[in-house]
DNA sequence: TTGCTCCTCACGTCACGTGAGGTGGC
DNA sequence: TTGCTCCTCACGTCACGTGAGGTGGC
């Protein structure tokens, strides 16, 4: 159980998460909750010039527009997809730095194209790994009721369960130390 | 052009990358090249107890077995898939820490299952983002020969190209600042 | 023998995490 | 008024990157 984060459901807090301020602006906490980030991350992205609170309350609390929330949601997705903050920043600023619509769109199209290739590669790697781990899991599920202590102490070397299958995933060889 | 990394093809180096030492062991450089990692990363993984050179030469050069290379390849894939080194370490050590085959397989099956769920989630996010960015790219490709400076200076607000389409990707709204 | 490869420190970086200590706002 | 939320430092962490300065090995 993680400390510091009460699991008690606080009804007032629940309301806050769903309710909007009357002026339609969002606090740092709203931004964090709605984008599944921490407060620290929202503030860090502001320091890095990625999002910006249009204004602050007299007490110093940040207030963001809905547009900044949408930007934060995109940043969050792009980070999860593997882009660095620098790459994200360049993408977000590309339009404003360009002098013409043609230059702006070409710049953004190029950047998106590059990232799409990288993302496709990442999906392929993930799919390959998922297949491999699923196969490894299936093999090991056959051993979940194994009581052969003698064979296990011997590293499962002479166990037919781990040998009779021709398509033996590499990951299983590594995890079970079959050739060590 | 990145500095420090010559793009000249060195035929001797090429041979080294493919050839094996007569004893079948691999140097740190072989491990790095064959797994697409840097020398630093291979050494760091050794410090962290993830891979281990079975022996060293009299001069202190690390020598790895083929099994350590396979382990490094799996580690590299798992890292790219988003696992921390701690999670990878626990997965690799689970079998050796268990007392019975049943306990070992249950432990590893559970860990793999957890990671498979996370990986599936990551694939979904990537696919969703790929779709969104492809759509955004397609919209912007229509603007690559735009010469309407007046409209661009005005933020493309009154341009029909960016408005007539009903299914307007969120990312485009953010990147093109349509509501700012 | 030459130069390419590998070695060990050791400080730097990126993207935040984690308190400490204090104040704001419905 | 209470307590939940947000504030600003500021040091810590994870997974390496990047030299400096030196030696090993086909």
Determine the pLDDT at residue A21.
79
pLDDT score, position B20 = 67
For the CA of A55 and the C1' of C25, the distance in angstroms is: 16
| Token reading at B100 | 């019975």
Mean pLDDT on B67-80: 98
Q: How far is the CA of A83 from the C1' of C15 (A)?
A: 12
Q: If you write DSSP's letter for every residue of A83-128 in order, what string do you get?
A: --HHHHHHHHHHHHH-SSHHHHHHHHHHHHHHHHHHHHHHHHHHHH
d(CA B84, C1' C6) / Å = 28
pLDDT of residue B161: 83
Please count the other Cβ atoms lying within 10 Å of the Cβ belonging to residue B155.
Answer: 16
**Whole-number distance in Å between A46 CA and C13 C1':** 19
Q: Which of residues 29-68 of B touch A (CB under 8 A)?
A: 67
> Are B108 and A133 within 8 A, CB to CB?
no
CA distances from A10 to A15, A17, B16 (A): 9, 11, 64
pLDDT score at A164:
59
3-class secondary-structure state, position B167: coil
Residue B120: pLDDT band with limits 50, 70, 90: very high
- H/E element, B62: strand B62-63
Please determine, for residue B1, whether its predicted confidence score (pLDDT) is greater than 50.
no
Name the packing angle between helices B28-35 and B11-18 (round to 10°). 90
B71-to-A113, B30, B112 alpha-carbon distances in Å: 33, 14, 16
Q: How far apart are the first and last CA of chain B?
A: 37
CA A97 to CA A79: how far, in whole Å? Answer: 22
Full-model pTM: 0.90
- Across the interface, do A146 and B176 touch by the CB < 8 Å criterion? no
How close is the nearest chain A Cα to the Cα of B12, in Å? 31
* Cβ-defined contact of B105 to A151 (cutoff 8 Å): no
The pair of structure tokens assigned to B84 is 């921390």
Comparing CB atoms, the residue among B104, B108, B149 nearest residue A100 is B149
pLDDT at A165: 64
Query: Could you read off the pLDDT tens digit of each residue along chain A, which spans 180 residues?
Result: 122 233 333 344 444 445 567 789 999 999 999 999 999 999 999 999 999 999 999 999 999 999 999 999 999 999 999 999 999 999 999 999 999 999 999 999 999 999 999 999 999 999 999 999 999 999 999 999 999 999 999 999 888 888 756 778 999 999 998 654
Q: Is the CB of A20 under 7 A from strand C?
A: no
B44-51, long-range: CB < 8 A, 24+ apart? B45/B72, B45/B75, B45/B85, B48/B85, B48/B89, B49/B89, B50/B75, B50/B85, B50/B88, B50/B89, B50/B92, B51/B75
Alpha-carbon span A30 to A27, nearest angstrom = 5
Residue carrying the six token digits 């590669």: A121
pLDDT tens digit sequence for B138-151: 999 999 999 999 99
**Top-confidence residue, B84 or B23:** B84
d(C-alpha B52, C-alpha B39), whole Å: 14
Q: Read off the pLDDT of residues B166-180 as tens digits, 9 standing for 90 and up.
A: 778 999 999 998 654
In this complex, the residue of A122, A134, A151 whose CB is nearest that of residue B116 is A134
d(CA B38, CA A37): 31
For chain B, the average pLDDT equals 88
Indicate yes or no: strand D within 7 A of the C-beta of A13.
Answer: yes
Q: Which residues pair with A56 in a beta bridge?
A: A62
Contact A74 B171 (CB under 8 A): yes
Nearest C-alpha in A relative to B131:
A116
SS3 A23: coil
Q: Which nucleotides of strand D come closer than 7 angstroms to any CB of the protein? A: 4-8, 10, 14-19, 23-26
- Comparing A17 with B154, the larger pLDDT belongs to B154
């Amino acid at each position: 159980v993680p400390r510091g984060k009460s699991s008690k459901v606080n009804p007032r807090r629940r309301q806050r998460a769903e309710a909007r301020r009357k002026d339609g602006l969002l606090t740092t906490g709203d931004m964090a909750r709605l984008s599944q980030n921490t407060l620290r991350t929202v503030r860090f992205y502001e320091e890095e010039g990625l999002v910006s609170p249009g204004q602050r309350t007299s007490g110093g609390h940040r207030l963001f527009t809905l547009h900044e929330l949408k930007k934060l949601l995109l940043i969050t997705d792009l980070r999860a997809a593997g882009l660095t903050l620098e790459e994200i920043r360049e993408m977000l600023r590309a339009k404003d730095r360009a002098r013409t619509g043609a230059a702006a769109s070409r710049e953004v199209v190029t950047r998106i194209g590059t990232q799409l290739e990288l993302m496709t590669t990442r999906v392929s790697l993930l799919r390959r790994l998922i297949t491999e781990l699923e196969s490894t899991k299936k093999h090991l599920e056959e051993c979940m009721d194994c009581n052969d202590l003698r064979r296990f102490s011997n590293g499962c070397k002479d166990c037919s369960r781990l040998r009779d299958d021709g398509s033996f995933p590499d990951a299983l060889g590594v995890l079970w130390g079959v050739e060590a």
